[in-house]
Structure 1
Amino acid sequence: MEDKQNTSVKNASEEAFDVTGFFLECISYWKWFVASVVVLAVAVMFYCFRQTPVYEVTSAVYIQDNKGDNSNILLESLGLSSYKKNIDNEIEVLRSKNQITDVVEALNLYTSYSWNSFLRNVPLYEETPIEAVLDSIDVRSLKASLNIRIKPQNGVFHLEAKTRNVRGDEVEICNTTVETFPYSIPFHKGFIRLRYTGDTIPTVDKTLNISLSNPRSVSKSIAGNLTVAFASKDATILKVVYRTPVIKAGEDFIKTLVDFYNIDAAKQKNQGTEKTQQFIDARLDSISKDLSVVEARVEEYRRHNNLIDISSEAKLYLEQTGFTDEKLAELELQKSLVDYVEKFLSIPQNEYMPIPALGIDDKDLAKLIGEYNKSLQQRERLLHSSSESNPVIVELTRDIQTQRSLVLKGVESIRKGVEIKKRDLSRQDKIIEDKIKNVPQYERELSDIMRQQRIKDNLYVFLLEKREENALAKSMTVPVARIIDDPDSTGEPVSPKKILLLCAAVLLGVLLPAFVIYLRMLLFPVLKDKKMLERLTSIPVLAEISKKPGNKFFVVEK
């Protein structure tokens, strides 16, 4: 009997909540629901009105990839994995804070302007009536932002400037009245000059706010609003999305960001070209001096020994030795080039510097040097947006070390080959000299001097050609990225989302009173009829006693 009673009590407690009764109770308090929905809807509308609208500016950027490049065949034939451009890494380079900081400084985005309108600020871009110009201030050294407030009052302007110290306390820099502009505010070992924009004096009828911040902190804020992703799975086209309260500022930012990305890519690509130019200029200067000395010796020898014309035997000697001399000059040049490469690699400071390409005849070594320089350029660019502990950079560094050892082995092999060829040519040259022992001493000595002149002259002409080729390659740098879809916006703000917030306010306005009514029924239950009492207890109901309403005598009148 006791078990049955406990079971009935348990079932009664499980069925204690009456959905119909709860629904009827909510209907009886319909005014609560209407008031709750109206209050929350008004609050959401007020919130949306105070927020500055944010727009999305989108653009499509094409990034050149080196897929299909046959320059890596040599490394692949040696069993090494060829390192190709990783577009994922290019995305990180494009949105790196260093790149964004350069754009911020180029567009002066570290200085923001806004009207202090009713309940919110209206941002300005290229339309401010008064601009702030920095004079002898290193903006990157700013520790805290400077906020300037210009308020018109009875034909004059009340000027107020505040910043914060290292402890975070607010510090007043300036608080004065200005009749007209320009006006200078001393700040951070320099001045901030406030002046009118344009040739005519613009109207300033509202409070103007000017904020000056460190470009690095501004770039961090911009990076959070910048999204770069693939437009499709297999394409190298990137979709760039930037959220900003001013559409024109977003369009200028994306265009300038791509320009700086191309400048950085060209700078990295031309590093090897710069080193080559320096080497060629140094060698040309040295050879020019040697050539002047040799030509002076020829002139002095002719004048001292009265040599006006070369005898037929000397001409024959020159013709026979001309080919040998040219070959010796070429071999000497190749030896000089490989010696320079070996010396360049032996300097610790050049561990991650590109090897100048100077026209080494050996195609395999030239390809190895080209791949080595490409890997160094890729590693340098990745380090702008990551650290040396990144797995991609670690793997690339290991490949670079392998390529470096291959280059050194190639240099040693070429040097040995050059030495063997030089010995063979010297032996042939000696045979020719033995055949012309009857050449007069003067002519023989003159030909020796002229041989040195030809070697120097050939080397000088060769370096001049290489300098022109190097300058042409430097001037023909193709941009890595180009915009194929100009930055644009739909003109509809993406934040705040008014419809979504209003729907959430209506839903919350319905749920909040319902939850209060539910808690009231749960914590303070009221017995309203016989059925509710039967649900709450297993004790049978014997009778119901009616309650007399008010002061009436009869409970039931009809």
Structure 2
Amino acid sequence: MENLSNNNSEDFNLKKTLSVYFKQWKWFVISIILCCIIAFTYLRYTTPQYLAVAKIMLLDDKDSSSGAFNDLSLFAENEDAKVEDEIQVIKSRSFLRNVIKELNLNVQYFITGRVYDSEIYKNTPIVVNFIESDSVINNTNFNFYTQILSSTDFYYRPNEDDEPKKYAFGQTIPTFFGGMIITPTTNNIDNYVGSDIKVRLTNINALAESLKYRIGISPTGKSSKVIEVSLTDPVIAKAKDIVNTLIDEYNKSTIQKKNAISKNTADFINDRVDLIALDLVSVDSSIVNFKTSNKVTDVASEAGQFLNSSALNQQQLDAAKTQLSQLNYMNGALGDERFESIPSNLGMGDASISGLSSRYNELLERRRTLLKSAGEQNPVVLELDQTLNDIKQNLQQSINNSTKSLRIQIGSLENQSERINSKIYSVPGQERKLRSIERKQGIKESLYLYLLEKREEAAISLTATSPSAEIIDEAYNSAGGPVFPNKRIIYIGALFLGFLIPFGVIYVSDLLDNKIHNKEDLEKIIKNIPVLGEIPRATGNDKSLIERNDRSILSESFRIIKTSFDYVSRGRDVKQYGNVVFVTSTINGEGKSFFSLNMALTMANAKKRVLLIGADVRNPQIYSAIKKHKTKAPSEIGLTEYLVDKSVIIGETINEYNINDIKIDILLSGKVPPNPAELLMSSRMKDLFDSVSAQYDYVIVDTAPAMLVTDTLLISQYAGHTIYLTRAERTEKDILNFAKELHADNKLNGMMLVVNDVKQSNFGYGAKYGYYGTPVKKSFFSRMKF
């Protein structure tokens, strides 16, 4: 676990990662400055936009004229109008077209500028009047340019590049859609003399469509009836007028709609009142005819009288029948030959019968008393019998008369009862008919009264209709200044973009980078070959060859490499050619000749006898670097001539040079041969290296690239050490696998690595501190201090 954490920490080093970006701080500064300049230019020449906002509250229509029949379920709405529906109504094209016509927005005036045109709103120096009808003008798109010459004349041109034509104010100008007349405004025409004014005529439908998408309408909160109406425009006064006029148009439209509904409602009510009044008169006539034909005034009260009469008649009839039964009983009792007592209280009000029956009972009681003391033949008894018989006859005669009278009375009562019952039986039908007529009368009357009430309500609402929107805040500049472009956001974005561009470029380039940059990169890829050091990149003022007593960075880097070479070489047991150093690389252009020459000069500057051999016979580069430093006429014989001509001795090929006051022997490569590989395999190569290795302290050999040709490998047995050169930002990491293979197969003796052309900022070690003894570069802020 500890090894794993160590590997992870080695794989990712935050400080090193950030240092990659800190090294390029100049690009960050330049990028930020450029982005800020672009932002400033953009803000300078971008037309500012202002935001006008108004707040309105949508009102319910419960109390408006359209609600005359709201208490009827047929006309009542199921729910309140949705706020979203009203928003769509406000943004309708018809409203927007009315706003455009009201404010004359389809004709715009601009002062032309070098970058953008500024619109003139309201206080325009000129006014364009069109001769054609509005229907033609409202569907026309047309631009033209004018230049005011004076208060009476101006130049006119349909297109900006057209030749101007002079016109007088008030003169008719022909166009493809008809004539137009331009007149000045006397208030400020003198202020615009010499100014170019652009006039734009826009199709109203297209302008309404554009305005629809520019206007923002939204509720201030969920389930809120307060909505915001906003518009962004370069002219804040114009934006305010558009928003306020749009709200006014909406209120006007809703008032007109409500008035139309109220008028239609009033007309409908008047028609219905007239019809129902006629129906009500007809129903009243029906009631009168019904009562007249049935001879009733009040069916209910007369029915009660009939019931009372029937009950009284039935009572009288029952009493008469009872009296008749009693008389029949008395008559039956009198028919008996014996003298029997008869009821004396059954006369039912007949005084003669009551008196006779009482007299009869008294005499009968007297006779019974006499019979107790005398017989039936007693004269007094006989006389009483005669009296009783006379009374009985009189009583029977009276009973018969009363019976006849009661029977007549009973018959009369029964007839009267039948008449009363027939009337009673006819009452429900009359009452039903009357109730049906009265029900119609009640319905018609209540509807008539209801409509009269609603007619008054409609008449009142027609003269007192309220708008559907209450203005909470008229249009105002919500931001107090332009909302676009936002300077703070633009500058923050410029800073961010200025930082992001170099960061992204560096990140992507680093992500796609497959080349080495310093010693540290090389050591990560090749771990088993020592790296001697780094050679800094030479700038325009730096010399490419080191000098005697040189204290430059280039000279110090080669001294470090020489010291490292001596240290590494002492640790190796090289039996032959221990002072012979081959310099090679993977591909061409990695600086072999440059390194070989400077390495030889560094060793020679240390009081060593050094020979530099140009063994790259295919592409020799050493002579071109030293040709201006020759001290005498050099020999034209080189390595190629030595290998080809056996008569040439080694001494004839070696020339002494004084380069920057440093003496060094150089064996040039000579002419380019047609068969370099075969030539390098010559046996004279061994004689050459045997001889020079014995005569010189160091023999530096500039060879061909090892991967491109086999020249270096053919003579590698003569090298005691091999310096394998790589170049920062040129040598690819994948190509270094070839160097690994060469070392693993021992094809090159004593391989050591050197990184050439390294930026000072990328030095693996010491980059932050520089070289000892060199002038310290002060930072910009340090130089600013006094």
Equivalent residue number for residue 248 of structure 1: 237
Equivalent residue number for residue 110 of structure 1: 106
What are the superposed Cα offsets for residues 20-47 of structure 1, whole Å, 9 maximum, x if unpaired? 4453343333332222222222122212
CA–CA separation in structure 2 for the residues paired with 1:66 and 1:279: 20
1:497 counterpart letter in structure 2: N
Q: TM-score, normalised by structure 2?
A: 0.43
CA–CA separation in structure 2 for the residues paired with 1:269 and 1:198: 43
Displacement, 1:520?
3.4
Equivalent residue number for residue 37 of structure 2: 42
CA–CA separation in structure 2 for the residues paired with 1:49 and 1:70: 60
Equivalent residue number for residue 214 of structure 2: 225
CA contact (8 A) 1:137 1:189 kept: no
CA contact (8 A) 2:128 2:181 kept: yes
Of 155, 179, 194, 2:182 maps to 194
Displacement, 1:472?
4.3
Equivalent residue number for residue 484 of structure 1: 472
Displacement, 1:277?
6.2
CA contact (8 A) 2:95 2:249 kept: yes
CA–CA separation in structure 1 for the residues paired with 2:531 and 2:273: 125
Tell me whether 1:270 sits opposite 2:268 in the alignment. no
Aligned 1:135-174 pairs, distance under 5 A = 135-139=131-135, 145-152=141-148, 157-162=154-159
What are the superposed Cα offsets for residues 320-364 of structure 1, whole Å, 9 maximum, x if unpaired? xxxxxxxxxx9974066xxxxxxxxxxxxxxxxxxxxxxxxxxxx
2:52 counterpart letter in structure 1: V
Displacement, 1:194?
1.4
Aligned 1:430-445 pairs, distance under 5 A = none
Equivalent residue number for residue 24 of structure 2: 29
Tell me whether 1:239 sits opposite 2:228 in the alignment. yes
Of 73, 76, 90, 1:75 maps to 73
1:484 counterpart letter in structure 2: I
CA–CA separation in structure 1 for the residues paired with 2:275 and 2:143: 65
Equivalent residue number for residue 185 of structure 1: 173
Given the superposition, is the C-alpha separation of residues 270 and 331 from structure 1 closer, same or farther in structure 2, using an over 3 Å criterion?
closer
Structural RMSD (CA): 4.3
Displacement, 1:106?
0.7
1:334 counterpart letter in structure 2: I
Given the superposition, is the C-alpha separation of residues 473 and 154 from structure 1 closer, same or farther in structure 2, using an over 3 Å criterion?
closer
CA–CA separation in structure 2 for the residues paired with 1:27 and 1:86: 60
What are the superposed Cα offsets for residues 367-408 of structure 1, whole Å, 9 maximum, x if unpaired? xxxxxxxxxxxxxxxxxxxxxxxxxxxxxxxxxxxxxxxxxx
1:46 counterpart letter in structure 2: T
CA–CA separation in structure 1 for the residues paired with 2:120 and 2:273: 67
Equivalent residue number for residue 201 of structure 2: 212
Equivalent residue number for residue 130 of structure 2: 134
Task: State the secondary structure of the residue aligned to 1:75.
Answer: coil
Task: State the secondary structure of the residue aligned to 2:156.
Answer: strand
Task: State the secondary structure of the residue aligned to 1:258.
Answer: helix
What are the superposed Cα offsets for residues 65-120 of structure 1, whole Å, 9 maximum, x if unpaired? 247999756539x9x97232222211211122211111111110111112113412
Displacement, 1:179?
4.9
Displacement, 1:257?
1.4
Displacement, 1:225?
2.1
Equivalent residue number for residue 462 of structure 2: 474
Q: TM-score, normalised by structure 1?
A: 0.58
1:241 counterpart letter in structure 2: S
Larger radius of gyration: 2
Given the superposition, is the C-alpha separation of residues 84 and 522 from structure 1 closer, same or farther in structure 2, using an over 3 Å criterion?
closer
CA–CA separation in structure 2 for the residues paired with 1:233 and 1:102: 30
Tell me whether 1:513 sits opposite 2:502 in the alignment. yes
1:32 counterpart letter in structure 2: W
Equivalent residue number for residue 700 of structure 2: none
Task: State the secondary structure of the residue aligned to 1:500.
Answer: helix
Displacement, 1:495?
0.6
Given the superposition, is the C-alpha separation of residues 431 and 57 from structure 1 closer, same or farther in structure 2, using an over 3 Å criterion?
same
Given the superposition, is the C-alpha separation of residues 421 and 232 from structure 1 closer, same or farther in structure 2, using an over 3 Å criterion?
farther
Of 537, 545, 548, 1:551 maps to 545
Displacement, 1:196?
0.7
Task: State the secondary structure of the residue aligned to 2:475.
Answer: strand
CA contact (8 A) 2:130 2:137 kept: no
Given the superposition, is the C-alpha separation of residues 116 and 66 from structure 1 closer, same or farther in structure 2, using an over 3 Å criterion?
same
1:103 counterpart letter in structure 2: V
Displacement, 1:125?
0.9
CA–CA separation in structure 2 for the residues paired with 1:70 and 1:154: 63
Question: What runs of 5+ residues in structure 2 fail to find an aligned partner?
Answer: 298-450, 539-543, 548-554, 561-771, 773-786
Given the superposition, is the C-alpha separation of residues 206 and 82 from structure 1 closer, same or farther in structure 2, using an over 3 Å criterion?
same
Displacement, 1:483?
1.4
Task: State the secondary structure of the residue aligned to 2:115.
Answer: coil
Range that drifts further, 504-513 or 104-113: 504-513
2:172 counterpart letter in structure 1: S
Displacement, 1:428?
4.0
2:197 counterpart letter in structure 1: L
Displacement, 1:147?
1.1
Given the superposition, is the C-alpha separation of residues 546 and 222 from structure 1 closer, same or farther in structure 2, using an over 3 Å criterion?
closer
% identical equivalent positions: 24
CA–CA separation in structure 2 for the residues paired with 1:331 and 1:510: 83
Task: State the secondary structure of the residue aligned to 2:32.
Answer: helix
Displacement, 1:425?
3.7
Higher relative contact order (CA 8 A, sep 6+): 1
Equivalent residue number for residue 521 of structure 2: 532
Equivalent residue number for residue 502 of structure 1: 491
Displacement, 1:494?
0.5
Given the superposition, is the C-alpha separation of residues 429 and 231 from structure 1 closer, same or farther in structure 2, using an over 3 Å criterion?
farther
Displacement, 1:129?
0.5
CA–CA separation in structure 2 for the residues paired with 1:331 and 1:19: 93
Equivalent residue number for residue 542 of structure 1: 530
CA contact (8 A) 1:102 1:260 kept: yes
1:54 counterpart letter in structure 2: Q
CA–CA separation in structure 2 for the residues paired with 1:274 and 1:207: 53
Displacement, 1:212?
0.8
CA contact (8 A) 2:169 2:182 kept: yes
Equivalent residue number for residue 258 of structure 1: 247
1:28 counterpart letter in structure 2: K
Equivalent residue number for residue 96 of structure 2: 100
Displacement, 1:183?
3.6
CA contact (8 A) 1:331 1:422 kept: no
CA–CA separation in structure 2 for the residues paired with 1:429 and 1:202: 96
CA–CA separation in structure 2 for the residues paired with 1:430 and 1:161: 94
2:559 counterpart letter in structure 1: V
What are the superposed Cα offsets for residues 147-197 of structure 1, whole Å, 9 maximum, x if unpaired? 12113569963312259xxxxxxxx9x854225423433345432221112
CA–CA separation in structure 2 for the residues paired with 1:491 and 1:140: 40
Equivalent residue number for residue 83 of structure 2: 87
Choose between structure 1 and 2: higher helix proportion: 1
Task: State the secondary structure of the residue aligned to 1:541.
Answer: coil
Task: State the secondary structure of the residue aligned to 1:190.
Answer: coil
Aligned 1:322-333 pairs, distance under 5 A = 333=275
Task: State the secondary structure of the residue aligned to 2:559.
Answer: coil
Given the superposition, is the C-alpha separation of residues 467 and 176 from structure 1 closer, same or farther in structure 2, using an over 3 Å criterion?
farther
Given the superposition, is the C-alpha separation of residues 334 and 425 from structure 1 closer, same or farther in structure 2, using an over 3 Å criterion?
farther
